[in-house]
Amino acid sequence: MDGLWTLKNALTVMALVVTGVWTLTQPAPAHAGAPQCARMYAQGYSEFVINTCKTCRRVAVQRRRAGGRGAPVMRTYDLQPGSKFPLPFKGPGRSRVTSDVPCRDEAGGGRDIFNPGKGRRTAPQKTCVSLVNTGKGGVMLSNQCAECRAAAVARYSRSGKSLGRQFYKVGPRANVRVSSKGAASVGYLADVACPS
């Protein structure tokens, strides 16, 4: 019986040693190293998130309803430096900050490394086409460039409601008549190089 008890103790000690060694070899949780700027606090029945840093922060907040079995609600807000923002959540539940990172285009903020120019225009877009009044209640698109352009126009009712858009192919240094199709006004939207 003593031999069995000693074997049990030896196995228990060995299991504890293995567990301790395994725990020590696991990497520590990753910390970004940057200070967490978003702080949450409750005031009465409302919750607020405040940015305590001197830079814009993109803060993600998760809300889990008390006793709720559904998925938590996630909201992301851009908080300006030193600002206080009331959270829209009402009723019982628990909110927490799940992410606190610099705003897009801030130092250390989000950037698309695969498409660095995506979402930003580096130079003003080339405009070749303009909408010209013909003088008889009509309009035409006039292309001033030496290349084919695709131009977009929108038609509007008297109340200003959009009646739809239409695209026209305008040849190099050419004019194209635009019919009103019953609209009160026609507006130029944009032009781009003709698709091949």
Q: What is the pLDDT of residues 133-154, one digit of tens each?
A: 888 778 999 999 999 999 989 9
pTM of the model: 0.40
The average pLDDT across 182-193 equals: 87
Q: Which helix (H) or strand (E) holds 153?
A: strand 149-156
More confident residue, 119 or 137: 137
Q: Is the pLDDT of residue 124 over 70?
A: no
CA angle 92, 95, 99 (to 5 degrees): 165
